[in-house]
Amino acid sequence: MTTTATDIRSSGAGGLRSWLERYPFLPALVILLALLALNGVFSPNSLSFRSLTGLLSTYMALVMLAIAQTYVVSAGDIDLSAGATLSLVNVAIVVLMERWGGGAGAVLLALALGVLIGLACGLVNGIVVAALRLQAIVATFATSIFFTGLALYVMPVAGTPAPALFWRTYGGRLFGVPFVFYVLAVLAVLLYLLSRTRMVTELLAVGDDQQAAYQTGLPVVAVRVKGYLLCGLFSALAAFCLTGDTASGDPLVGGKMTLYSVAAVVLGGSALAGGWTTVVGSLLGALTIGLVNSLVFFMGTPSEWQNFVQGLAILLVLMAGVLAGRRARA
Amino acid sequence: MSKLRLNGVSKAYGATLALRRGDLEIAAGEVHVLMGSNGSGKSTLCKIIAGSVRPDGGHILINDKPVIISGPQAARVAGIGIFYQELSLASHRSVEENICLSALPVRAGLFIDRQALKARAARYIALFSQVAGEGFHAEALVGNLRADQRQLVEIMKALVSEAPILIFDEPTSALDRAQVDRFFEILRGLKAQGRGIIFISHRMDEITAIGDRVTIIRDGETIETLKLSETDPGTVIRLMVGGASDMPAARSSAPAVVEAQAEAAISVRNLSGKGFRDVSFEVAKGEILGLGGLHGQGQSALLRAIFGAGTVTSGEVAIGGERYDAKSPRDAIRRGCAYVSGDRGRDGVISGRPIIENVTPVHYLRDRLMIARPSSLRDKAIPALEAMHTKFASLFHPINSLSGGNQQKVIIARWLIDRPDVLLLDDPTKGIDLQAKADLFALIRQLAAEGLGILLYSSEDAELLGNANRILVFNGGSVTRELTGDDRTRYNLYQAAYEAA
């Protein structure tokens, strides 16, 4: 009896395995669809176009941050300062937009500066981790405190509002289509282009086996720094989405998002050890976290129990995803 | 004019002198063999040339011009391509990406030129298309390939550099005969183009087949360079081992094997699983049963399955007459099964940890040890290590500080603290030097004499012929022939292995 069981499993896993190799985000996708269905059961209204758009614009920031995290994880590193970078960019652009009058020119200029700030944060991390060879997890923890400090200097108290032009655009519609869908489309193109670059392949090769990559002749330090630069860039983009959604500056807003972004990366099917990542998975992982949160809300969980249920639900989803992946790979 | 010349190159890791004085001269159009026992400094020498290790002293000249090789990328630019013994592959990348990884073709300076990459990789994949085996194609992930196929990828990766100087540090250790033959054909072609090739192997027959000159390195020092046509294996080995010239000749002599006792140590009936099918045999106590044949014909899969690390779909295994189905290696170890793999990095070494921790894990398990006292562990570890003539500075040095051969001895020593009943050897001498091989086989015979049942798979026919009482020849996952007594000849072994291949 045992023998037949092994037979079935091994042959079944063989097919699934090649699928998973090609699309490592499949478990995340299945979980996402299941959560959507559950949301529909508890509150049919939550599946309306309007609420889904709302969900997307709320969690777009986490999607961006999870993608940012994915690129450093690809190279076998991690960035615990991604959330702090987000906060810093958030407060910086809000202050700049306000100071420059809140017109279209001011907004664009502030966004350009925001990108530069994100890249600068990435560069600092890259130098500290790759060039100075400090442990990524500790070094970026330290820089996160440092970036938070800067953010608090820029805006000591939360609450400065962003110009109406900015958040109305983000939350509004363009040619009848919600703006956030344009963001998603641009993101998709960007991710596609990035996936074709030499940089990303080299990131993955470094994350796979750093020594082997070095012996192959890859500039390992430069590659890892580029990973952190990409992370900084996407953290800045995350900050734009967040600012569009909350319409205000908050120097501490990103702190708790950092570990959510790591969780989203793992949920999506990437290996934290590096070399094996999927940005599409991270996108789905971030939305999964968003859906878990909304599900907890729609289930009518009492407010004091919401964190508890949220944590439990994420743990369950993580387990389901990891077990599915492990079984298929075994 | 010499293509490459090394004068007095040296390298020390902390207090260990890996290379004392490396001298080497490579001419255009030659295959230059480096010989020396493991830990003698061959690999260090190669890595210095390839730029992945910085020398402490000495000079490197390319085409008689002094150069400083600052890193692997600089070595590529200087015209050096290398095959790394431990491979330099990214396991989650595809074969073609790995082949081209050191210089990915790009468009607009940013995007990978997929077509150029495919075309470039395809040229080198085609070189081995006849012998690469099942499942080998351009888009396969390297991590899913067999060991010999991964080695082929590393060969292609060295070849794609089209460098005038090519280094092959044990490129054939996992290859089967057909693959080696094909590789040598290619090497001869490169030789004819005037490339300078450095070649390292522990197989004497390969060295005489392909080499023009040989440089012998002992204890980090270049001893001598000889023309292979003017010397004989005996001389080379004597130079390699220095004073102790009496040793490995025994390896090629008549199989001095112990007499088996009547009782079965392990019996396997109609065992099938992933990679092998319907295998039956019995190993008596004190017997060494050899598993022969080409690479990847199910020998390793069978050994791993018996050890609980592979899949068994039907059939049964009995140890000491008692039926047992290992569900995990943990299970197998408790039942007195020991397994030593040639792939130390994957199956044996606990990387970065001290030697003592590498010797004792099996003891922890078999003794159900909860709290360890270093002093009592040391008393158990030292005799086991000494039985293998292991060279080590202290039990608390990391295992990575040892040479490949000595690492393997530590791995074997871990099974000697609590005697197993059955020893499964899965190509245990892969990439270890002749001295260590001799030590290992002396020990294996002694263990057999003490009543262990031993299953030995080796990719080197001489090891099987010299040590096994019987040899089962595998082909396509099942046993096609059993060689006993006077049938155990090289001819029969070749013939049976190639029958259906």
Secondary structure of B337-386 in the HEC alphabet? EEEEECCHHHHCCCCCCEHHHHHCHHHHHHCCCCCCCHHHHHHHHHHHHH
* Dist. CA B390–CA A330, nearest whole Å: 36
Kindly report the average pLDDT of chain A as a whole number.
88
pLDDT per residue over B88-108, tens digit each?
999 999 999 999 998 899 988
Q: How many C-alpha atoms does B406 have within 13 Å on its Cβ side?
A: 20
Give the model's pLDDT for residue B412: 86
What value does the mean pLDDT take over residues A58-67? Answer: 95
Instruction: Using a pLDDT cut of 70, give the percent of chain B over it.
Output: 93
Top pLDDT among B373 and B444 is at B444
- Local confidence band at A174 (pLDDT 50, 70, 90 cut-offs): confident
* CATH 3.40.50.300, domain B2-246, yes or no: yes
pLDDT per residue over B14-47, tens digit each?
666 788 898 999 999 999 999 876 667 888 899 9
**A223-227, B144-148, B335-339 — which one is most confidently predicted on average?**
A223-227
- Local confidence band at A155 (pLDDT 50, 70, 90 cut-offs): very high
- Local confidence band at B236 (pLDDT 50, 70, 90 cut-offs): confident
Give the model's pLDDT for residue A327: 63
CB pairs under 8 A between A and B: 83
Question: Is the per-residue pLDDT at A149 higher than 60?
Answer: yes
pLDDT per residue over B293-304, tens digit each?
877 788 889 999
Ranges A213-227, B100-114, B256-270: which has the least confidence: B256-270
> Do the first three CATH levels of B2-246 and B252-498 match, i.e. the same topology?
yes
Question: Is the per-residue pLDDT at A66 higher than 90?
Answer: yes
Neighboring chain A residues of B77 at a CB cutoff of 8 Å? none
Asked if B106 lies within 8 A of A198 by C-beta distance, the reply is yes
Please tell me if residue B112 touches chain A, with a CB cutoff of 8 Å: yes
Asked if A6 lies within 8 A of B97 by C-beta distance, the reply is no
**A43-52, A135-144, B38-47, B217-226 — which one is most confidently predicted on average?**
A135-144
Question: Is the per-residue pLDDT at B459 higher than 90?
Answer: no
Tell me the nearest-neighbour CA distance from A221 into chain B, angstroms: 13
Give the model's pLDDT for residue A212: 92
Distances (CA, A) of A115 to A13, A89, A165, A286: 44, 8, 19, 22
Ranges A61-65, A178-182, B240-244: which has the least confidence: B240-244
Number of alpha helices (DSSP H) and beta strands (DSSP E) in chain B? 19, 22
Asked if A208 lies within 8 A of B90 by C-beta distance, the reply is yes
Of all residues in chain A, the one with the smallest CA distance to B311 is A6
- What domains can you pick out in chain A, each with its CATH number? 25-329 (1.10.3470)
CATH for the B252-498 domain, from 3.90.1150.10, 3.40.1350.10, 3.40.50.300, 3.30.200.20: 3.40.50.300
* Dist. CA B405–CA A230, nearest whole Å: 43
Domain regions of chain B by residue span: 2-246, 252-498
Give the model's pLDDT for residue B476: 75
Other beta carbons within 10 angstroms of residue B450's beta carbon come to 11
- Local confidence band at B499 (pLDDT 50, 70, 90 cut-offs): low
pLDDT per residue over A247-275, tens digit each?
999 999 998 899 999 999 998 888 888 88
Helix (H) or strand (E) holding A230: helix A220-246
Give the model's pLDDT for residue A2: 36
What value does the mean pLDDT take over residues A119-129? Answer: 96
Give the model's pLDDT for residue B254: 41
Report the C-alpha dihedral over residues B134, B135, B138, B139, rounded to 10 degrees: 170
Neighboring chain B residues of A215 at a CB cutoff of 8 Å? 50, 52, 72, 82, 84, 88
Of chain A, the end-to-end C-alpha distance in Å amounts to 20
Q: Which of B193, B192, B200, B186 has the alpha carbon at shortest distance from B128?
A: B186
